[in-house]
Amino acid sequence: MPDFQHPSEFEPKLSRAHLDVVCNNLLDAAYKALEATSTDDDTNWTRGVLPYGRIHGRFKRLQREGDLPWFRLVNNTLDYTVSVDGILMQVVTDDPDLRKKGHRVQKNQVERYHDSLLGPANDGNITWRAYVDSDRNPDGPTLTVSILGFDTNRNVICKWGHNYEPLVSVRTTTLSPVVEIDDSLPVRRDKDAAQKETKDVDLKDE
């Protein structure tokens, strides 16, 4: 199974465009959380918990703003789940290759209820997870997100690594209009010429 296999090959609703938006926002929120946990008072616990919470907050904001009609946050519990064009997916902070949180592959209540409404799924009842991992570089960690699909036996049948493109703030891209200012040089007043002109006028008046 190639690592570059895209989830849309198994589930067309998980399009590249939609997953790019979700993953870019996910990583943007996580990176900003790591910047906020760079103090001497932070621990491995705060560095692990805050990014997960900030991702949840970003998803809540995306839904509140309503600019992505295909995106929805379907629950607000610790195992928060998003819907990408009707396909449910949880976020897990773990190594996608050496998964320690095996329980996170189990479907939560929202996913089970979703499956009960749909019945037998055309995609083979795949469970989707977005794994967020860090290289834990003390000089500045690099984060990655991988989308994994699991079959009913919890075997990985799809794996795709997202290529992160940092989001650019509108404030950094909107520049003030350029105002052209005439580069005029200062003119020195000739006092002697002014006095001479005055004398000439006086002579003429006489």
Percent of the chain with pLDDT over 90: 57
pLDDT for 45 equals 87
pLDDT for 168 equals 66
The per-residue pLDDT for range 92-119, each reduced to its tens digit, is 999 999 999 989 999 999 999 988 887 6
- In sequence order, which ranges of the chain are alpha helices (DSSP H)? 16-36, 44-65, 109-118, 170-173, 191-205
The per-residue pLDDT for range 136-165, each reduced to its tens digit, is 887 888 999 999 999 989 999 999 999 888
Q: Decide if pLDDT at 25 tops 90.
A: yes
Separation CA 9–CA 3 (nearest Å): 13
pLDDT for 121 equals 54
The three-class DSSP label of residue 102 is helix
pLDDT for 2 equals 45
| φ and ψ of 156, to 5 deg | -75, 120
